[in-house]
Amino acid sequence: MREACVASGLQVDMWDKADVSDIVDHALRDQYAAIIHRNEHGRLFADGSIEWVQQAVAKGLPVLSMDFGYFNHYKTFMFDYYRRHDLSSGIHDEWADLPDVVKWQKAAKYVRKFRGEVFEHIARADGSRYAGKVGVWMQWNAKLIRPELGRMQQWEWINLVCGKIAALGLEPVVKMGIVDHSEIYRQTIPKVDPGIRLVCDKPKVAGSNERAFYDPNANWNMLAGCSYHVLMCSSVSHLMILADKPAIATGQSWFNALDVFQEPVEWHSPLIRPTVNAQARAKWINWWLSRQCLFKDSPKRLVEVYQLAAKHFGL
């Protein structure tokens, strides 16, 4: 990102962790326009950054969050800003004015290409193995579960979600994440209830896990066959969006409280198949189309989002 910005003539300076204690005063003293901060889903604050982010926005200095994009995830960046009063996403400033119809023909070429490839994969998928089942999607960890749902480890989340699905008379199928990592394996798989079915699409994961059923096309086959899906906040939700599949989300992300997915606020209610709010999802897509970009286009998108942030802060 910095390389693209510098090549375009935009000054972006890198500060290492030694600067954190003085980061806000440094930025104000040297008259930086904003601070850019990598933050998963704009909510993780894994590096203990929330204190200086709060301090910066309280002093009127915009902080822009960045992450990988939504469509074509690891080949794109996205930029957002934290709102002044609660550090929520800038999506809430724009939501009312976002179009509720997606004009895909006007989307960037790489997005149209990616969407077409997703549809091709789904069209060739065989969902018969998963027909009528409920897809449950792992993440790297469970740190982004929404606070009102309580703190828990990922294996606890898997057991809880799958137990609630089984109580409905349905069968959950867990799409495994990167659990070939030894630490993630120890923290997760041995503690998952033995009756829960685990599926993976990577030979390395299958080879390191005696419980895993190997399906190289698991993502596409589950999309084609599963009745609905339950996740935390993984970017895999873009597949449910493009395939128009119902989904329940329990994690923190930019979509919170916008009816893009069904979001339970407690664990007492059953995790029944949700409805799809097509208008909300269209707004969600349009927001992403205005937020993400290919790596090389980072300078343009960064300036656009900064201008929105500056408007929010009255600069």
So what's the pLDDT on residue 44? Answer: 80
Q: Which of 169, 168, 175 is nearest to 232 (CA)?
A: 175
So what's the pLDDT on residue 267? Answer: 96
Which residues are paired to 293 by β-bridges? 77
Whether pTM > 0.85 for this model: the answer is yes
What are the average pLDDT values for consecutive 10-residue runs of the chain, which has 315 residues? 78 71 87 91 82 93 94 94 94 97 97 97 96 94 93 94 98 83 72 92 79 92 97 94 97 95 96 97 97 94 95 95
Distant-in-sequence, close-in-space partners of 186: CB < 8 Å, separation ≥ 6 = none
Q: DSSP string spanning 225-263?
A: H-SEEEESS-TTHHHHHHTT--EEE-B-STTTTTTSSB-
So what's the pLDDT on residue 250? Answer: 97
Residue 140 tokens read as: 């790297």
Determine contact, residues 160/267, Cβ cutoff 8 Å: yes
Structural domains in the chain, sorted by start: 2-97+292-313 (no CATH), 104-288 (3.40.50)
So what's the pLDDT on residue 80? Answer: 96
So what's the pLDDT on residue 67? Answer: 94
So what's the pLDDT on residue 156? Answer: 95
So what's the pLDDT on residue 203? Answer: 83
So what's the pLDDT on residue 19? Answer: 62
Separation CA 74–CA 238 (nearest Å): 13
Residue 30 tokens read as: 């040297």
So what's the pLDDT on residue 60? Answer: 95
The CA distances from residue 119 to 35, 109, 243, 251, in Å, are: 38, 16, 8, 26
Sign, Cα dihedral of 158, 164, 165, 166 = positive
Separation CA 204–CA 197 (nearest Å): 18
